[in-house]
Structure 1
Amino acid sequence: MSPAPLRVALALGTSLLALDAAQAQATNTRPIGTQRDVARRNAPVEEVSLDTLSVTATKTERAAIDALSGSSVVTREAIDRLQPSRLSEVLRDVPGVTTQGSQSDPAQAINIRGLQDFGRVNVLIDGARQDFQTSGHSANGVFYLDPELVGGVDITRGPSATIYGSGAIGGVVAFRTRSIDDILAPDERAGIVQTQGFGSNGQRFLNSTAIGARIGTAADVFGQFVFRNNGPYQDGLGRRIADTGNELSAGLAKINLRPADGHEISGTALLQRFDFTNSGTTNRGARFANAVQTDTYTLGYRFARPDVPLLDVSIRGYSTTTQNDLTFLQDSQRGTYGTLGVRAGNRITYDLETLGFDVHNTARFDTWALAHALTIGGDYVGNRVRTTDKAGGFGAAFTPSGERSLAGAFVQDEIRYSTWLRVVGALRYDHYDLSGGAYRSSGDRLSPKITVGVSPFPGFEVYGTYAEGYRAPSITETLMQGIHPFPAFSIRPNPALRPETAHTVEGGVNLKYNDVLKPGDVFRAKLNVFQNTVDDFIGIQPVGSTYFVPAVVGIPASVCARIPGRFPCVIPQRDVQYLNIARAELDGVELEGAYDWGGGFVTVAATHTDGRNRATRETLISVPPNRVSATIGLRFLNGNLTLASRLTFVEARTGLPSGVTLSPTKAYGLVDLMATYVVNDHVKADFVLQNALDKRYTQYLNALPSPGLTAKAAISIKFATH
């Protein structure tokens, strides 16, 4: 969909808001957003995300604190408090999770426990897999999603979540888009939430209109329109970082039908259009205008009823299409594209289509003293990559066209004995096929998992897990072939790549206590220790003998066959190729905790990860530095006013392997200040000062410095009817 229709839809949604708001003023209304009950605003449970339901670990709902895995949840309340323009601002508080991206591109990649790119982390939006990727000097595997559209995030770290799809040896991050329950209380029939935000340092304007209605208990509908406009920002030294602005137009529609007791049919359509201009990840390359259209459609059916314990059936099909149209604007100082005859207006198109489905059933039954939740299911995902390049040919060479299919089946039994013992056993079968040009590859494998959890006394549970995961090579890793623009070295394809196999040993402790220091308080904490060994880890490596290439753009590399080592052929190079490293090792510790006493709350998240090539002992460049974050909040005025501060400390990242183009990063500390004020039952205001001390810093794996001091304010107005 082009920007014009989306803007028309936005305007229409805003007009409907005004009309319905006028009608709703005469009716009985309820508090705004998630502040649904004034009498419960001091309830600490609203701030403890570990009590929120998670499904990514086992596909069966349970609170994150009760999951026998490194599972975390980000709630909509936390997102509202931070007012993020990128999801990286939210995921900073999740242990074991970091992000990589370019500040000049709203796309992001997620790193879990030092693993990212090419599907090592399975990113889902409403259950639909996100596999978009273009090769460059940044992440290889990104997704587009504006945080204003997100209702919550469910995360499980490690391959213990491979029941959620092939390749997730790093983990699973499942985004839930907003729905009717995010704006209406259970006894409300229809309503609208209008949010507008403003800010400094490039944060220009945000408009979000969310509208929903319930048709008795038989159906509900929900729609949201979002427009965001960001400009270039300044870093902590006041330096303007060019081409860091973007514009978003998005629409979200959902419908749920309940034709009979226990039956539910659901459909979702999410359309996003991002427009931005950049000069590559470092702002020193050729300049292109980018128009990204990403559409996700899902259709699902579920049957679940307490009186039919053997049936809890879920069927979901989905389609995801991401297309990036790049229009060449001007060359870099080197003039690389101009020497190839590329002119302004020439275009490159990256297009990835994903079709998939997931079906499973959970049967609950008892055998003697054992309670079972037996889940059996299967999933499929097919990727089709099409690259059209009329601007130099580099895009088509480094993001090759091709097709890949991933199919799997799994069985899992969650067994409980009394109140002190839980055992989870699972087995997954994976198969893949990949093709492109003259190359084909395929493979399959069985991956087991076993988890034992013991709770010797209430509130304390310790667990241990052994799990394996299987990741097939991606289209790019297998088929990428061409000449690098400058310096002109060759990149070779490798159809003989073997899939990666992860072997993870993990132990953890879950703590869950109430009434610790005063009546009504809540304490939750999770501690995880893990070691993940990845056989046949895939990385790009130099191969072949050294040769010389021209130091001047435009001179053919063939010239250097006659005068190697003499000007202009003075740059030594080797070909590169994706290869299987014999074994990669990653280990670490993760801590997440929260204490809430009604009048305030404290949350803490800490991460330590190490990773290395076992043969060379060199550090894996994808391993992020150690990080600790803490949020401290106080509630005033009967809970109507919440003041909070987030502190983040990140260790320096040095000692990078020789030959890599990444730069080391210095240690830094950040302070964010936040305030939320519920004016009345209809109006809520949020204020944020990000990087309040105006520090200049660069996040590891990113090429550009992050924003300096940034102020944001948003006001939300809600009207609802019974």
Structure 2
Amino acid sequence: MPMPRAAALAFGASLLALTTARAQTAPPATPAPSGTIDLDAITVTATKTPELAVDALSGTSVVTREEIRRLQPSRLSEVLRDVPGVTTQESPNDPAQAINIRGLQDFGRVNVLIDGARQNFQTSGHAANGVFYLDPELVGGIDITRGPTSTIYGSGAIGGVVSFRTRSIDDILLPDERAGAVQKWSFGTNGQRFLNSTALGARIGSAADVFGQFVYRNNAPYRDGLGTLVPDTGSELEAGLAKINVRPADGHEISGTALLQRFDFASRGSSITGARFANAVAADTYTLGYRFARPDVPLIDFSAKGYYTTTHNQLTFLQDAASGVYGQLGTRVGNRIDYDIESPGFDIHNTARFDTWDVRHALTIGGDAVFDRVRTSDEAGGFGGAFTPSGTRTLAGAFIQDELRYGAWLRVIGALRYDQYELAGGAYRSSGERVSPKLTVGVSPLPGLEFYATYAEGYRAPSVTETLVQGIHPFPAFSILPNPTLRPEVAHTMEGGINLKYDEVLQPGDAFRAKLNVFANTVDDFIAIQAVGPTYFVPALAGIPASICARIPGRFPCVIPVRSFQYLNIAQADLTGVELEGAYDWGGGFVSLAASHVSGRDRATGQTLLTVPPDRISTTLGLRFLNGNLTVGTRLTLVDARLNVPPGTTVLATKGYGLVDLFASYQANDRVRADVIVQNLFDKRYTQYLNLLASPGLTAKVAVSIKFATR
């Protein structure tokens, strides 16, 4: 299915042709109406200083609250597929998700933040190695920067940063409203039973505001496009969110957030073939921050945030798989496995704005640290404790960044980051440090047109699991070995891009925005799990001790040849790609497109990296009626096949597919809103790459929101 790549290049050429012709006579661009185009939304992930996403000298995208409301996602993957270069890996029988950026994921390569707090939870298995829990109904916006941003966002972000902002008082109240509430109910088909969301808040003059939200979601198992029930894909969520902001004096703000989520679901593993466990997940995030910023004090824009995140997954054994492995090891109904990670941390930085002759500066200096404490207890077979070992890891660093502007045509961003890590578990210890540079140059030869180029390096320390994992796989019984000598990964990235921003393109009041970028990323000492050592034989029948095969190798029942596995440093991994994002809004409607192509290989073997996603195009067309109160539209997603899966893995090759969604939103008045969406309109049976289970077939959802407010 070669259409996505060819269409992306063709569309990119047409966009450049259109805007280059327009650039000959275009006046300086003015901002489009607020909220019209997501690329006009504010981002801070690129540089920690606010700017429009379309102006960022990086592959930066923003998903707004309006887009989330329109698509009514049950999982965040349903909105992230509209972001170029971003894919997800998930187990449909587990609400957790992992984010892949430009073919990089797992073990912190993508830094996921919720209200500025790092999410570092991970358990080993046949799914992603690094997931987070967050219901989309709690999200007020998503800020994404692809590529090497670790100079300002902490160690490890060699893939990029995804920052989730939970909802706040500005999501439910207008500036002149003092207090109010928004009540939302949603119902659906194909497992989408019921969603309740209650949000309320109040402003106490200009001195303070408070906000709270409660979410309850109940999903049942769904059916795929062939009508086959996919078992254990239901779940139940209870979540609470509380926020407070206090402004004791002009320019000063103290903020606090508490997010508590409780997920309950049953699972037989990512491929529904393992032992069945009841899962009770508690995912909590707490933050406390202080900021001082005032226009008359340009040398101080100070921000300090401390946070504490904890994710605890309690698995209770329900029944064994057909193999009977757990039962033969003495596991009984009610035995538990507990995975727990605590991640306290902080982020402090200040931006000073000043001029030196004709050059304007925004000099940001800061530091951050996170302290991971992983604890696993296992009374149900021992596999969980072996493959997700207990241990501690500290990541700390400091950075300096200067954004320079000369006139309206030149921008330069230079940054340095110092990283240091320490890891410990059992008898093993490791540590390391490095300085990573970044340099970006942006040139705007014509109003509305800007070219940029970046060279950046990133540094990722090995995780506790990669270093300390040690045990016997349940069946077949091969060994997984620890590797305390793992070296950190170092990424070297070259990136170039074009930002386009024009108004009054075809008619008065319209707006066009686009970003096109290409990248080449070489990762030294890339860490991947590899087969090591000689071939040996293990039993073909589950439950028989592997030790007997030392005496009768190659004879029944010891007839399965295997090798041990271990996380190793690959000499180099190369990733290259192109991303395109564009949108046009003419008042009476809008059209957007996101396309990406990524290729990646192990330079030593030439094999394609397992986590490289297939090509994808996503486009949305919406039309507005009744003075903009009614919006109807469709979304088309085209995904290429991924057939060249490296041998010896559990990942499945996937066919190409196309999906069509229909949506409608009606704002009856300033108090009542209704949203309808039909997903997978043609009931297509498909499996997302890296997932082991088919995705849902045709699904319809309807939501009604009612607002109450006082002025």
Q: TM-score, normalised by structure 1?
A: 0.94
Asked if 2 retains the 8 angstrom alpha-carbon contact of 1:45 and 1:522, the reply is no
1:228 is matched by which residue type in structure 2? Answer: R
1:382 is matched by which residue type in structure 2? Answer: F
Report the equivalent of 2:645.
656
Report the equivalent of 2:342.
353
Query: Secondary structure in 2 aligned to 1:80?
Result: helix
Q: Indicate whether 1:50 and 2:39 are aligned.
A: yes
Identify the match of residue 460 of structure 1 among 449, 464, 467: 449
- CA deviation after TM superposition for structure 1 residue 219, in Å: 0.1
Query: Secondary structure in 1 aligned to 2:658?
Result: strand
1:220 is matched by which residue type in structure 2? Answer: D
Query: Secondary structure in 2 aligned to 1:337?
Result: helix
Pairs within 5 Å for 1:504-515:
504-515=493-504
Pairs within 5 Å for 1:542-557:
542-557=531-546
Report the equivalent of 2:98.
109
Query: Secondary structure in 2 aligned to 1:360?
Result: strand
Query: Secondary structure in 2 aligned to 1:77?
Result: helix
Pairs within 5 Å for 1:31-430:
45-430=34-419
Report the equivalent of 2:16.
none
2:338 is matched by which residue type in structure 1? Answer: T
- CA deviation after TM superposition for structure 1 residue 659, in Å: 1.5
Asked if 2 retains the 8 angstrom alpha-carbon contact of 1:44 and 1:597, the reply is no
Asked if 1 retains the 8 angstrom alpha-carbon contact of 2:151 and 2:438, the reply is no
Q: Distance in 1 between matches of 2:545 and 2:625?
A: 70
- CA deviation after TM superposition for structure 1 residue 68, in Å: 0.2
Report the equivalent of 1:30.
none
Asked if 1 retains the 8 angstrom alpha-carbon contact of 2:221 and 2:229, the reply is yes
Identity percentage of aligned residues: 76
1:367 is matched by which residue type in structure 2? Answer: T
CA deviations over 1:459-518 (Å, ceiling 9, x no partner): 000000000000000000000000000000111000000000000000000000000000
Query: Secondary structure in 2 aligned to 1:573?
Result: strand
2:220 is matched by which residue type in structure 1? Answer: G
Q: Distance in 1 between matches of 2:489 and 2:149?
A: 15
- CA deviation after TM superposition for structure 1 residue 680, in Å: 1.5
Asked if 2 retains the 8 angstrom alpha-carbon contact of 1:630 and 1:646, the reply is yes
CA deviations over 1:193-223 (Å, ceiling 9, x no partner): 0000000000000000000000000000000
Identify the match of residue 553 of structure 2 among 543, 559, 564: 564
Q: Indicate whether 1:710 and 2:699 are aligned.
A: yes
- CA deviation after TM superposition for structure 1 residue 160, in Å: 3.3
1:663 is matched by which residue type in structure 2? Answer: L
Q: Distance in 2 between matches of 1:597 and 1:88?
A: 28
Report the equivalent of 2:483.
494
Query: Secondary structure in 1 aligned to 2:543?
Result: coil
- CA deviation after TM superposition for structure 1 residue 44, in Å: 5.1
2:533 is matched by which residue type in structure 1? Answer: G
Asked if 2 retains the 8 angstrom alpha-carbon contact of 1:162 and 1:169, the reply is no
Report the equivalent of 2:615.
626
Asked if 1 retains the 8 angstrom alpha-carbon contact of 2:149 and 2:161, the reply is no
Asked if 2 retains the 8 angstrom alpha-carbon contact of 1:425 and 1:450, the reply is yes
Give the unaligned 5+ runs of structure 2.
1-31
Report the equivalent of 2:661.
672
CA deviations over 1:12-70 (Å, ceiling 9, x no partner): xxxxxxxxxxxxxxxxxxxxxxxxxxxxxxx8542300000000010000000000000
Query: Secondary structure in 2 aligned to 1:345?
Result: coil
- CA deviation after TM superposition for structure 1 residue 351, in Å: 0.4
2:180 is matched by which residue type in structure 1? Answer: G
1:207 is matched by which residue type in structure 2? Answer: N
Asked if 2 retains the 8 angstrom alpha-carbon contact of 1:58 and 1:161, the reply is no
CA deviations over 1:103-151 (Å, ceiling 9, x no partner): 0000000000000000000000000000000000000000000000000
CA deviations over 1:641-673 (Å, ceiling 9, x no partner): 000100000000011112222110000000000
Query: Secondary structure in 2 aligned to 1:159?
Result: coil
Identify the match of residue 479 of structure 1 among 445, 463, 468: 468
Question: RMSD across aligned C-alpha pairs, in angstroms?
Answer: 0.6
Q: Distance in 2 between matches of 1:644 and 1:124?
A: 31
2:217 is matched by which residue type in structure 1? Answer: R
Q: Distance in 1 between matches of 2:199 and 2:257?
A: 15
Q: TM-score, normalised by structure 2?
A: 0.95
1:675 is matched by which residue type in structure 2? Answer: A
1:215 is matched by which residue type in structure 2? Answer: I
Q: Distance in 2 between matches of 1:161 and 1:219?
A: 33
Asked if 2 retains the 8 angstrom alpha-carbon contact of 1:44 and 1:521, the reply is no
Report the equivalent of 2:434.
445
2:459 is matched by which residue type in structure 1? Answer: Y
CA deviations over 1:171-210 (Å, ceiling 9, x no partner): 0000000000000011110010000000000000000000
Report the equivalent of 2:585.
596
User: How many residues are matched?
Assistant: 680
Query: Secondary structure in 1 aligned to 2:35?
Result: helix
Q: Indicate whether 1:541 and 2:525 are aligned.
A: no
Asked if 2 retains the 8 angstrom alpha-carbon contact of 1:69 and 1:160, the reply is no
Q: Distance in 1 between matches of 2:593 and 2:391?
A: 44
Report the equivalent of 1:11.
none
Could you list the structure 1 runs, at least 4 aligned residues long, displaced by more than 4 angstroms after superposition.
none
Q: Distance in 2 between matches of 1:321 and 1:431?
A: 23
Q: Distance in 2 between matches of 1:516 and 1:436?
A: 60
Q: Does 324-333 or 46-55 show the bigger shift?
A: 46-55
Asked if 2 retains the 8 angstrom alpha-carbon contact of 1:56 and 1:161, the reply is no
Asked if 2 retains the 8 angstrom alpha-carbon contact of 1:415 and 1:423, the reply is yes
- CA deviation after TM superposition for structure 1 residue 101, in Å: 0.8
2:143 is matched by which residue type in structure 1? Answer: D
2:75 is matched by which residue type in structure 1? Answer: R
Report the equivalent of 2:673.
684
Query: Secondary structure in 1 aligned to 2:466?
Result: helix
Query: Secondary structure in 2 aligned to 1:225?
Result: strand
Asked if 1 retains the 8 angstrom alpha-carbon contact of 2:178 and 2:709, the reply is yes
Asked if 1 retains the 8 angstrom alpha-carbon contact of 2:372 and 2:393, the reply is yes
- CA deviation after TM superposition for structure 1 residue 161, in Å: 4.7
Asked if 2 retains the 8 angstrom alpha-carbon contact of 1:162 and 1:171, the reply is no
2:647 is matched by which residue type in structure 1? Answer: S
Query: Secondary structure in 1 aligned to 2:537?
Result: strand
Asked if 2 retains the 8 angstrom alpha-carbon contact of 1:50 and 1:65, the reply is yes
Q: Distance in 2 between matches of 1:160 and 1:230?
A: 36
1:164 is matched by which residue type in structure 2? Answer: Y
Q: Distance in 2 between matches of 1:334 and 1:617?
A: 36
Report the equivalent of 2:18.
none
Asked if 1 retains the 8 angstrom alpha-carbon contact of 2:35 and 2:41, the reply is no
Identify the match of residue 638 of structure 1 among 627, 631, 634: 627
1:97 is matched by which residue type in structure 2? Answer: V
Q: Distance in 2 between matches of 1:382 and 1:426?
A: 24
- CA deviation after TM superposition for structure 1 residue 558, in Å: 1.1
